[in-house]
Chain A
Amino acid sequence: MNTRDYIESGILEEYVLGAVSSQERQEVECLSKVYPEVKAELTRLEETLEQYALLHQTPVPARLKNDIFAQMTFGSIAEPQEAADIQETYVRPMPGGSTEIQPGPTAAVRPLWAMMAVAASVLLAIFAGWAAYQMSQTRAQNDQLAAEMSELRQRAEYNEALAANYRNPDVKVVRMPGLDKAPESIVVALWNQKTNDVLLDVQNLPVAPAGKQYQLWTIVDGKPVDMGMLDQEFSNRLLHMKSSSPNAVAFAITLEKEGGSPNPTMEEMYVMGKV
């Protein structure tokens, strides 16, 4: 840049006269920082006007000085409270130079950035804690949802299988109502007459006591035939049993020792249904 042209443009005179826009003012302040010759000319002009102004004084009534100084307090470094709103070019003093604080040499000065940093880390810690909590919550929720999902899927599969069996014309449905031991009980045998596969649908049956297990029997030619043990978890699922003889005339369930017995204990018969 040609600083000579700039100096001779008259902008510096306008600046010291206070006759420039704020944009021009910034420009002058910036260029006078960069170019020493601009700064020098600016200072000369300022000094010129200062001398000029000092030549044109109006005497001030003497009492005015007392009036003014009576409103001022001195000594303490504490800054006057009101910030400068006089000129946009001059930076407002930072709030925080509070009047109560006497900044001695040992006075702890906490700059704004330090307080902001502390505040930021506190916020971060809070956020991290919250995020971790949310995370564990979400994880727990996920696990719960997964469990619910698999249960629903099991149930759906169970219902689908049930429906398929009931709809299948080959499947003979044998209802086994509860006997005296447990009148509320009901178990249904789904007997595929073509394949002789037998599925059990336990709708209601007391939980087997410890060391005991239910066992399914069929009656073929007047004799009980073992059809296999019921899984201890018999609710809401179809239990696949041994294949039946086509000549079975009845199904029954007894409570036996765990692992089963070669012959049914007739006193412990819970349900029974005729084909």
Chain B
Amino acid sequence: MATQRPNYSEEDLVESLKQNDRVAFEYLYDHYSGALFNVICKVLRDNEKAEDVLQDAFLKIWKSITSYDPAKGRLFTWMLNIARNSAIDAVRSEGRKPGMDDITENPDRTDQNATYQPSTSTLDLKALVDTLRPERKVLVDLVYFQGYTQEEASKELDIPLGTVKSRIRTALQDLKLYFKL
């Protein structure tokens, strides 16, 4: 994965962003907007509105970068929370619930839009990730990408809360192994 950020270490990137450096923000956008957009689209299920939300979220990231504290977590985690919360707010302002229509019937739906494939090594890894046991993957996607709470996921999929928790944990531990982190 080292090839994905050729110019910056996370530390340098954060430093440059806090200096309000244009190059750093362009790098940030180029590198992460696809992943953030994916999450926003999943929560909203409306790609046109998702564009507005991505715009709002990225401007929020730009405006509040000085308040980001690296000691509390990684930059991406912070940005993803902003993007996801913006999307959830947008959905709720329409009186909808953040939802995932038919994910239970179609667990692979989360990957249907994932056409951005930067390299073959990533492709291989993606294939590897897809070998995650589906019931775990669904849960991770549901909670992580779509802003569900674990309780909501438990209800949605009709799985006991304890099982939701343990499956999510196992899924993440599996992923950790895949990524060899």
A residues near B (Cβ < 8 Å) are: 10, 13-14, 16-19, 29, 33, 42-61, 64-65, 67-69, 71-72, 74-84, 86-87, 89-93, 97
Which residues from B are CB-within-8-Å of A29?
72
A71/B59 contact (C-beta < 8 A), A10-B166, A90-B68 known: yes
CA distance A191 to B49 in the complex (A): 115
Taking a contact as CB atoms under 8 Å apart, the answer to whether B26 and A86 are in contact is: no
Q: Is B90 an interface residue (CB 8 A)?
A: no
CA distance A85 to B34 in the complex (A): 24
Taking a contact as CB atoms under 8 Å apart, the answer to whether A75 and B67 are in contact is: no
Of the residues A50, A74, A80, A93, contact of B77 by C-beta under 8 Å:
A50
Which residues from A are CB-within-8-Å of B85?
86-87
Number of A-B residue pairs having CB atoms within 8 Å of each other in the complex: 184
Taking a contact as CB atoms under 8 Å apart, the answer to whether B74 and A43 are in contact is: yes
Q: Is B9 an interface residue (CB 8 A)?
A: no
Please name the residue on chain A nearest to B172 by beta carbon: A13
Q: Is B104 an interface residue (CB 8 A)?
A: no
Which residues from B are CB-within-8-Å of A76?
20
Please name the residue on chain B nearest to A84 by beta carbon: B64
Q: List 25 A-B contacts (CB under 8 A).
A: A18-B80, A18-B144, A46-B76, A50-B77, A51-B179, A52-B144, A52-B179, A53-B145, A54-B32, A56-B110, A56-B111, A57-B34, A57-B35, A58-B115, A67-B55, A72-B59, A75-B20, A75-B22, A77-B19, A79-B66, A80-B66, A82-B64, A83-B67, A93-B64, A97-B66
**Min CB gap B118→A, angstroms:** 8
CA distance A56 to B122 in the complex (A): 11
Contact mask for chain B residues 57-76; partner A; CB cutoff 8 A; 1 contact, 0 none: 01110111011110111101
Taking a contact as CB atoms under 8 Å apart, the answer to whether A58 and B113 are in contact is: yes
CA distance A13 to B150 in the complex (A): 11
Taking a contact as CB atoms under 8 Å apart, the answer to whether A10 and B168 are in contact is: yes
B residues near A (Cβ < 8 Å) are: 1, 4, 19-22, 25-26, 29, 32-35, 37-39, 41, 51, 54-55, 58-60, 62-64, 66-69, 71-74, 76-78, 80-82, 84-85, 110-111, 113-116, 122, 125-126, 129, 140, 143-145, 147, 149-150, 165-166, 168-169, 172, 175-176, 179, 181
CA distance A49 to B175 in the complex (A): 8
A46/B126 contact (C-beta < 8 A), A10-B168, A74-B22, A90-B67 known: no
CA distance A68 to B25 in the complex (A): 11
Which residues from B are CB-within-8-Å of A97?
66
Which residues from B are CB-within-8-Å of A82?
63-64
Taking a contact as CB atoms under 8 Å apart, the answer to whether A58 and B144 are in contact is: no
Taking a contact as CB atoms under 8 Å apart, the answer to whether A64 and B51 are in contact is: yes
CA distance A100 to B169 in the complex (A): 49
A84/B54 contact (C-beta < 8 A), A53-B39, A53-B80, A60-B34 known: no
Taking a contact as CB atoms under 8 Å apart, the answer to whether B64 and A10 are in contact is: no
Q: Which of A18, A48, A60, A92: most chain B CB closer than 10 A?
A: A60
Of the residues B33, B74, B143, B165, contact of A65 by C-beta under 8 Å:
B33
Of the residues A48, A80, A81, contact of B181 by C-beta under 8 Å:
A48
Taking a contact as CB atoms under 8 Å apart, the answer to whether A68 and B143 are in contact is: no
Of the residues A10, A54, A64, A68, contact of B4 by C-beta under 8 Å:
A54
Which residues from A are CB-within-8-Å of B60?
84, 86
